[in-house]
Chain A
Amino acid sequence: EVRLVESGGGLVQPGRSLRLSCSASGFTFADHAVSWFRRAPGRGLEWVSFIRSRGRDGAIRYAASVEGRFTVSRDDSKSVSYLQMNSLKTEDTALYFCTRSKDPYDFIIDYWGQGTLVTVTS
């Protein structure tokens, strides 16, 4: 069974950092791209970042709203993806989801985690 479990969310002050983790199981993690999405209170789903599989160049992209502040990475040996979030702003408050892309496509999302909540407040 495919499982994606996010962790690392919590309450943090503006300007501080947080690192989210996404632990995957039930499939060959290295073969799939991983994307992160978020849903802020009262707002729609927003794509945050993706990282391709290393076999498909490992390319990384970010949404303009997080470019330069967030860094996505993956450790295929541990089947984990990370989202390092620096210089957090109140508008980063959201439920963050880790997702898997449907093999062999990079951008068709076929599984989502349950999400981890990030609250940025002073």
Chain B
Amino acid sequence: DIVMTQSPDSLAVSLGERATINCKSSQSVLYTPLNRNYLAWFQQKPGQPPKLLIYWSSTRESGVPDRFSGSGSGTDFTLTISSLQAEDVAVYYCQQYSLAPFTFGPGTRVDIK
């Protein structure tokens, strides 16, 4: 199985400041023939199911604010919130869909400082 890890476990950022979350996979999720990374990011707020933010490591889902961006390739990925808003308080998960079983990172909690 591909093991996903995330860092940090949690972070607190001031409103309007940048938040950066890292995700690492135990093996590459890059499909070279298509030059696509099979990596998604989800946001989960209390009492709600996860919400898709980013797929193909950097493609923003429709309706997601452009302050959210994804980057990285192979085994190392980053989710950046460029200017944290109050409504961004949540837990963020990375997930690989390269190989079954499709595995998630343990999550990173983002709070307001």
Contacts and interface: CB of A to CB of B under 8 A. Distances in A.
Note whether A and B form a binding pair: yes
Contacts of B105: 44
How large, as a class, is the contact surface on chain B?
20 to 34
Given A47-B100, A64-B101, A112-B50, A102 B55 contact: yes
Main secondary structure of the interface of B (DSSP, over half): loop
A61 B61 CA distance: 26
A111 B97 CA distance: 15
B50 A45 contact: yes
B103 A110 contact: no
A112 B38 CA distance: 19
Interface residues of A, number: 21
Nearest to A61: B100
B103 A112 contact: no
Contacts of A111: 52
Given A47-B100, A107-B97, A107-B102, A112 B55 contact: no
B40 A108 contact: yes
Contacts of A112: 49-51
User: Top 9 closest A-B pairs, CB basis?
Assistant: A112-B49, A107-B97, A47-B102, A45-B104, A108-B55, A63-B101, A110-B52, A47-B101, A61-B100
13 contacts: A44-B105, A45-B95, A63-B100, A107-B38, A107-B102, A108-B55, A108-B97, A109-B95, A109-B97, A112-B49, A112-B50, A113-B49, A114-B48
Interface of B: 38, 40, 48-52, 55, 61, 93, 95, 97, 100-107
Interface of A: 35, 44-47, 50, 61, 63-64, 97, 102, 105, 107-115
